[in-house]
Each structure stands twice: as structure tokens, then as C-alpha cells.
Amino acid sequence: MSAEEQPERATLAAEITGPLARRYSTATVLYHHALAERLGLGPTDLKCLDLLHQRAPMTASELAAITGLTSGATTGVVARLEQAGLLGREPHPHDRRKQVLRPTSKAVREVQEVFDALPIDPDALIEGFDTHQLAAIAEFLSRVTDYAYQRSALLRAQTLSPRGRRATAAPPEPDQTKEQR
């Protein structure tokens, strides 16, 4: 890379990983909220259905671990999706106490129908890019997706205060009384 290209690359990298990434993320969240509304679902229910579509079969506890939802919230999501005919349950092949979850063919069909009904041609988004550029875009999207999953897990693993901010001090030892603190 030439000395002249380095500042341009740095500027582009900062734009891509900063304001453009945030703008894209916000637009994606709003898009998926609208998609959920169109399907008569809540955004969390739709994203859980999408995760099941990508990774099925999956147990409810695995879904909870990925999403960070409580077991109660996950139970609610599963019940709503099952009631809507979008999710099926079947016995776990190795553990009688568990069930595996899968999206139904109805779920796959209904989501695809919404996408098919949109007037915008997604192929137009990649028009003008050559194979090398498309491969680079695919690689970037794969990396940024993995990054987002990793960062989500790290954020959830951090100790949080009641307001969702990272706690600054360790919690008191369980055997300490108020007077000792």
C-alpha cells in the first residue's frame, strides 16, 4: 500500500466501522421491527424465529443463552410462536426432559412471502460490484456478524448494575452485614 493510500484507507475504515456501521445497525433494527409488525409478531419473537431458522434444531435453553432472554421470556416467545403455528416442538433425541424447536414450513413460507412482496429488488444492491468486491463484502459481513455475536456475549457476561451499566465495584461478600460495609 502506498503512502498516499494509507490516509484514505484509514478514513474509510473509520467511516465504515463508526458512523456507517451505526447507521446500518439502526436501519436494520427498524426494518426488522417493521417486518415483525407485518407478520403480526413482536421484534423479539421474530428474531428468535430467525435464529431458529438459521440454527435449528435448538432447545429453549440454547435459544435463551444466545439471546440473553430469561427462561420465562423464552417460554413466552416459544408459546406465542407455537400458538401462531410458526414453531414446532419435538422430543430431544438424547434427553427425554428436553424438546427441540424448529420453525414450521408455514413460518418459512410466511416470512418469504413478506420479502417477495417488497417492491425493492435486492439484486439492485449488488449491481455494479465485481466478484472480487462481492467476496470482500461477504467476508466483511461475516466478520462483523461474528464480532456482534462475540460482543453481545461479552456485554452479557459483564456484571451489570440495576440500570444496565457496568458495575464499578464488586458486590459485598454475602456474609457481611450492613454495619460492616
User: Do the Cβ atoms of 104 and 87 come closer than 8 Å?
Assistant: yes
Count other C-beta atoms under 10 Å from residue 88's C-beta.
19
What pLDDT does residue 170 have? 42
**pLDDT tens-digit profile of 101-114?**
999 999 999 988 98
**pLDDT tens-digit profile of 71-98?**
999 999 999 999 999 999 999 989 888 9
Q: Is the pLDDT of residue 3 over 60?
A: yes
DSSP structural state of residue 160: B
**pTM, two decimal places:** 0.74
What pLDDT does residue 164 have? 59
When the pLDDT of each residue in the chain is averaged and rounded to a whole number, the result is 86
Q: Is the pLDDT of residue 47 over 90?
A: yes
